[in-house]
Amino acid sequence: MDPSDTIRAPRGTFDLTGETLARVEAVESAAREVFFRFGYREIRTPYFEETRLFGRAIGETSDVVEKEMFSIPRDGESYSLRPEGTASVVRHYVENSLASAAPFQKFSYVGAMFRYERPQAGRQRQFHQVGAEVLGSANPLLDAEMILLQDRFFRALGLSGQQVKVNSIGSREERPAVRARLLDLLRPAAGRLCENCVRRMERNVFRVLDCKNPGCREVSRALPPVEDLLSADSRRRYEAVLEALAGEGITFVKDPLLVRGLDYYTHTVFETVHPALGARDAICGGGRYDGLVEDLGGPATPAAGFAVGVESTLLAMQKLGATPNVPERAPDFFVVAVDDSVRGAAFRLLMELRDAGLAGEADFEGRSLKAQMKKAGRLNARHALILGPGEVERGVVTVRILAAGEQTEVPRAEVVGRLRGAR
Ligand code: HAM
């Protein structure tokens, strides 16, 4: 076969194996632990949804919906692989009428998301997020809880050096007035904005604040902070969030230019960045989204949430030379068959021990005795269980503790007890 014809994993996707998988799992299990501690319970939503869910939730003009969706036409419908988790959680909330049954709900999720982005360090087309969403309360303490939750999660992982940026973009109701004011302020400077921003100005003026172009940044920095354009109520609300955070041992900066790229946000928005990552430095993003339940057909319901990028987090840790705590898992044993006449007996021993709850392996490749011992070492097995015709005849097994290099003959019936005792 032509070697260029080899089928590879699609660009921007990766097979997770060995150490890499162990790290992803360690991040996910740290998240599950902290989510549970904070009262969030796991939800698993489908990997694909009707495309219009994301259009309606995230915004038809957002980059995610406009450029980054994996969409699949089927039977006259269009489905899309989920680019994020919030839309599905809210769809679930509305579909099950939770607003009337039990309006206050806390959800968490862990899993793969899909975005058709240009692959680069920490940016993939299939990536993983861990996230939390709380619905049914407008209490500013919950905005603070979200920011503290992701902070405690990063701490549990052992990540340091990250920075939390917070802003408020006000309520839906005041948005038109704020937008008009921003437009008034920006129009005279339109000549200094990039082409993209000139287009954005009319469609979603907030995104101009988000532009990384140096010229646009300069214009944005000269504007009064969005916070100053908000109503007194919204400003008070923002103050309450900041006050709740201040008492809880977390450092954050107010970033008046932080607006986020998804359209559902209201009031508090936040992002956690890590300076070790370079241009795409966000490891977590979130905020309040008080209008989304209504947008998806439910009654007006306040809500807030965030999601952490697992790969971005691991990349930041790697740059710091840190690794998440991966629990050491060594097999209890490796059965070594001295010659081919005992392969059947070795297989029976292997299965008996596995059925007793022990973890182990044997040779299936017809390796020599020496090569089997080597393999046992490579697998980091605690014991080599050596079985030859002599052992079979005497009803014993030679148990070798690999780390110590000591071995004794153990009656076959006592092997399980011996290995369990060594755990
Ligand atoms: P987001 O900011 O789009 O927010 O994504 C959250 C995090 O996911 C990012 O900070 C980044 O670390 C990671 N991420 C995003 N795209 C990629 C990619 N292509 N490759 C690798 N990592 C990526 C959300 O998704 C919102 N749903 C968060 C939220 C929940 N807001 C309220 N509730």
Q: Is 85 in the pocket of ligand 1 (CB under 6 A)?
A: yes
Tens of pLDDT along the chain (423 residues) come to: 777 899 999 999 999 999 999 999 999 999 999 999 999 999 999 999 999 999 999 999 899 999 999 999 999 999 999 999 999 999 999 999 999 999 999 999 999 999 999 999 889 999 999 999 999 999 999 999 999 999 999 999 999 999 999 999 999 999 999 999 999 999 999 999 999 899 888 888 888 998 889 999 999 999 999 999 999 999 999 999 999 999 898 999 999 999 998 999 999 999 999 999 998 999 999 999 999 999 999 999 999 999 999 999 999 999 999 999 887 889 999 999 999 999 999 999 999 999 999 999 999 999 999 999 999 999 999 999 999 999 999 999 999 999 999 999 999 999 999 999 998
Contact 90 CB / ligand 1 (< 6 Å)? no
CA 53 – CA 60 distance, rounded (Å) = 10
Query: 133: Cβ below 6 Å to ligand 1?
Result: yes
In three-state secondary structure terms, 374 is helix
Residue 380: which H helix or E strand, with range? Answer: none
Q: What are phi and psi of 169, to 5 degrees?
A: -110, 10
User: 107: Cβ below 6 Å to ligand 1?
Assistant: no
Atom 25 of ligand 1, residue of closest alpha carbon: 84
Indicate which residue's Cα is closest to atom 30 of ligand 1: 306
**Length, in residues, of the chain:** 423
309/318 Cα distance (integer angstroms): 14
CA atoms of 414 and 418, how far apart (whole Å): 6
